[in-house]
């Protein structure tokens, strides 16, 4: 199932009301049999984090030592976790019709679509990529990896990365900061989710001109 980044929820179009999510997985591609092993997400409503979702999930097979070392999630932890299908049903309820945000969204979107597909669930909102937007707003940053951007923008953090809730929290803070920077630099208020999606697709050289035209 392929989704357009340009789809948006007609009800919840404000960029300050979204679900920011992050998956930890057994590998890089659900088409190669990889599954989700953890989902973390935060709900932002009118610029404030109002709810959180975090759950390990058992993929039904042993994970690699590399994934254990990379994420800190062990096979023992997963053996006592509920199955993916149970967790994803709960997460689909958490998402509702909110628009969605992830850092490197193409990765998380593939796993979200695959895992929801297994239980024949869907979601009504659109998707935006905070990494693509950061590449256009913060072109002088040394890198656009989440950890680098957190340091570059002096976002408070506890130094924990590659766990789903921690990464979604950091992405949420980055997302809100990008909204504030657009408001302050370009006098755009409110910032719509559709505008953020458009920014993510613009050539870097034309982003400033595009945003000035929206004021």
Q: State CA 65 to chain mean position distance.
A: 25
Assign 12 a pLDDT band (cuts: 50, 70, 90).
Answer: low
Q: pLDDT of 75-104, one tens digit each?
A: 999 999 999 999 999 999 999 999 999 999
Report the pLDDT averaged over residues 107-111. 98
- What's the mean pLDDT when you consider all of the chain? 93
Q: pLDDT of 155-205, one tens digit each?
A: 987 765 668 999 999 999 999 999 999 999 999 999 999 999 999 999 999
CATH superfamily of 18-214: Ribonuclease H-like superfamily/Ribonuclease H (3.30.420.10)
| Domain definitions of the chain by residue range | 18-214
pLDDT over 90 at 1, yes or no: no
- Write the secondary structure of 50-65 as one string of H (helix), E (strand) and C (coil): EEEEEEECECCCCCCH
Assign 4 a pLDDT band (cuts: 50, 70, 90).
Answer: very low
The candidate with the shortest Cα–Cα distance to 174, out of 213, 205, 135, 126, is 135
Q: pLDDT of 23-63, one tens digit each?
A: 999 999 999 999 999 999 999 999 999 999 999 999 999 99
List residues bridging with 48 in a β-sheet: 45
Which region among 67-76, 113-122, 134-143, 152-161 has the lowest average model confidence (pLDDT)?
152-161
The candidate with the shortest Cα–Cα distance to 108, out of 74, 137, 132, is 132
């Amino acid at each position: 199932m392929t989704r357009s980044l340009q789809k948006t929820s007609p009800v919840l179009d404000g960029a300050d009301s979204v679900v920011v999510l992050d998956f930890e997985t057994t590998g890089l591609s659900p088409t190669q049999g990889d599954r989700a092993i953890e989902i973390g997400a935060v709900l932002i409503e009118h610029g404030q984090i109002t709810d959180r979702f975090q759950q390990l999930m058992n993929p039904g097979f042993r994970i690699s030592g590399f994934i254990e070392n990379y994420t800190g999630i062990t096979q023992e932890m997963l053996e006592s976790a509920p199955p993916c299908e149970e967790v994803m049903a709960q997460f689909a309820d958490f998402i509702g019709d909110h628009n969605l945000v992830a850092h490197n969204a193409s990765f998380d979107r593939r796993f979200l679509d695959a895992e929801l597909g297994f239980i024949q669930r869907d979601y009504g909102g659109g998707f935006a990529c905070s990494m693509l937007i950061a590449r256009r707003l913060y072109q002088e940053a040394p890198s656009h990896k989440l950890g680098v951007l957190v340091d570059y923008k002096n976002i408070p953090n506890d130094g924990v990365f590659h766990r789903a809730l921690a990464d979604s929290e950091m992405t949420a803070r980055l997302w809100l900061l990008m909204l504030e920077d657009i408001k302050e630099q370009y006098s755009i208020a409110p910032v719509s989710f559709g505008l953020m999606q458009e920014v993510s697709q613009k050539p870097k050289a034309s982003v400033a001109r595009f945003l000035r035209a929206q004021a």
